[in-house]
Amino acid sequence: MHLHILGICGTFMGGLALIARAAGHRVTGCDTAVYPPMSTQLAEQGIDLIEGYGSEQLALAPDLYVIGNVVTRGNPLMEAILDAGARYVSGPQWLGDNVLPGAHVLAVAGTHGKTTTSSMLAWILEAAGLRPNFLIGGVAHDLKVSARYDPAVRPFVIEADEYDTAFFDKRSKFVHYRPRTAILNNLEYDHADIFPDLAAIETQFHHLVRTIPERGRIVLPTGSAALDRVMARGCWSETVRFGAGGAWQAGPADADGAFEVLRHGQAIGTVRWTLGGEHNRLNALAALAAAEHAGVDPAEGVAALSRFGGVKRRMELRGTAGGVKVYDDFAHHPTAIETTLEGLRRQVGQARILAVLEPRSNTMKLGAMAARLPAALQGADRVFCFGARSGKHALGWNPDEVLAPLGERASSYDDLDALVAAVAQAAQPGDHVLVMSNGGFGGVHGKLLDALARRGAP
């Protein structure tokens, strides 16, 4: 079958393309603003990409058009598809109907940490010899790719996003996955462009819970009021709690980041890794509890996590120049920004942290979370905010006004080159520059490293 995928370079749709190719389908696709790592993965797999959404692509005459949620009415190709009466389906529904039936689906949902936790879970299963299939919104260093599929393999780890499915299907993506094991990592308000409030997101999580079988397992944290409300609306499956007071707990981290894992109060091993932050310890507990449901011995899971190398774009060191380290992180929600800064602070001690932020998500562009940014950024010594004044990624709020509580520590820019120059001028040897964005950010990481290198040259 020939599938033509609209929005193919998004992390989900790109991974779906790789899976469809592995399942034996001919795959082509189109998108705009293509950037690595997804474009690289697709090219390596020989998947033909077409720039843009021209209506002339209707001449490809595929058996089915698979539609990503970036596609809206008014898209020239989508309008041509509708006018021609051609067959089309959303990406999540195609996956749920054609790939996931019969699989042991392990879905990782939550506002934060989905990619990291999914990668941890897939790696634990991989280390246990289960060779899992997976579709994850990032690339773990150990797994090498964001998606993998072998029809003969039963475990399937999937990052379960609560964002809407498509312009013609406003349910959350994850309702199509029907997991046997589900991690509900946390739940906060997000996606202000599609959800009016937190209660609306809780309803979608309730719909997910309703699809989990009686012999399934739901893994969730202690102390989450939002998730407790979700569970109070109905639960028909086993529940396993992690965190303080839960069945799975983490001891305090030592100076090297190692921590002891306890299951029902019994120590089962120590995770020795370089990942920092309480959020990553909680992610690890959730992954261990889910892996246990797939048959992995907990002690074996702990040993696997000690060999876990992290995920690209999650506190990823991109390079060092002029004595300054530059990191890349996907954080774009105030809670994620705060925990990411806390994790880096624990690693670097009293060294200066320069936070470079692009509020690029729809929620942040709308300003629904803007008031929380000053508190979230308190852990940084300097803050540089990039806010476009016009175009697709223009902010609907004034960053100078919002960040005013940070005083002279914060400044904003609407020109990328000016921002790079300001950061390079402010940075000193021994500093740590943390870049946070859920997009490509105009290649700012490389530009910063180049500018720092030039500054340090004779």
Give whole-number Cα distances, 332 to 87, 328, 363, 369, 442, in Å: 36, 12, 9, 10, 16
The answer to whether the Cα torsion of 213, 216, 221, 223 is positive or negative is positive
N residues, the chain: 458
- Consult the annotation and say whether 113 binds a ligand: yes
- Consult the annotation and say whether 270 binds a ligand: no
**DSSP label at residue 311:** B
Both tokens of 264, joined, read: 């029902």
Helix, strand, coil distribution of the chain in percent, nearest 5:
35, 25, 40
Query: How far apart (Å, rounded) are the C-alpha atoms in residues 269 and 248?
Result: 12
* Helix axes of 416-426 and 444-456: crossing angle, nearest 10 degrees: 40
Residue by residue, DSSP assigns 360-392 as: -SHHHHHTTTGGGHHHHTTT-SEEEEE-BSSST
- Consult the annotation and say whether 72 binds a ligand: no
E-strand ranges in 180-295 read: 181-184, 217-221, 238-242, 248-250, 259-263, 266-271
- Consult the annotation and say whether 111 binds a ligand: yes
CB of 283 closer than 8 Å to CB of 113: yes
Both tokens of 72, joined, read: 């809206």
Query: Phi and psi for 102 in degrees, rounded to 5?
Result: 90, -10
- Consult the annotation and say whether 110 binds a ligand: yes
* Helix axes of 225-232 and 198-209: crossing angle, nearest 10 degrees: 50
- Which residues pair with residue 260 across a beta bridge? 270
Helix (H, G, I), strand (E, B) or coil at 326: strand
Query: How far apart (Å, rounded) are the C-alpha atoms in residues 116 and 280?
Result: 8
**DSSP label at residue 172:** E
Query: How far apart (Å, rounded) are the C-alpha atoms in residues 201 and 224?
Result: 14
- Consult the annotation and say whether 112 binds a ligand: yes
**DSSP label at residue 394:** B
Query: How far apart (Å, rounded) are the C-alpha atoms in residues 445 and 384?
Result: 14
**DSSP label at residue 260:** E
CB of 359 closer than 8 Å to CB of 332: yes
- In the annotated binding site, the residues are 110-116
- In the annotated binding site for ATP, the residues are 110-116
